[in-house]
Amino acid sequence: MARTPKKNDKKANAKALFMTGNFQQKEIAEVVGVTPKTITEWVRNEKWDLILESQTSTKEKRIARYQKYLNDSYEIIENRPISENIPTNGEIDRINKLESTIKKLQDKASIGEIVTMSREVLNFTRTAFDIDKAKELSAVFDAYIKSKLE
């Protein structure tokens, strides 16, 4: 007789499906056997959407995007007539914020990098040690990742 999965098993399975980015929440609900409302609550409460986005939007892509904004800002200023090519206070503020954001991104590990490293450690633990040890670590990694999202 097949056993009915526990709620935590359903949640873990739902999260795994959600993190692939290939399924709608309604589809995930049908597959794991919960309501779409439950999936929505898990996504919101556990911040799955932020985790997924951080995995697909790499740090390098974000840095490149901010670098483009910074270059565009400089280009706007440089394309003005020489008598008017002094940046305004607003432009200086924007440039400073963009430069600061780029530096922070370069210096700090992204959530996506943390998630990737966590998965690698969990996979290593499963194969080199045992599944129970990996489950223990999984709870620690989940808590750590959630703390970084707050």
The sign of the CA dihedral 117, 119, 122, 123 is negative
Would you give per-residue pLDDT tens digits along the chain (150 residues)? 444 456 668 898 899 888 888 889 999 999 999 999 999 999 999 888 888 776 666 777 888 889 999 999 999 999 999 888 899 999 999 999 999 999 888 877 777 778 888 889 998 998 898 888 888 888 898 888 888 776
Instruction: Please count the other Cβ atoms lying within 10 Å of the Cβ belonging to residue 1.
Output: 3
| pTM of the shown model | 0.43
Instruction: Please count the other Cβ atoms lying within 10 Å of the Cβ belonging to residue 14.
Output: 24
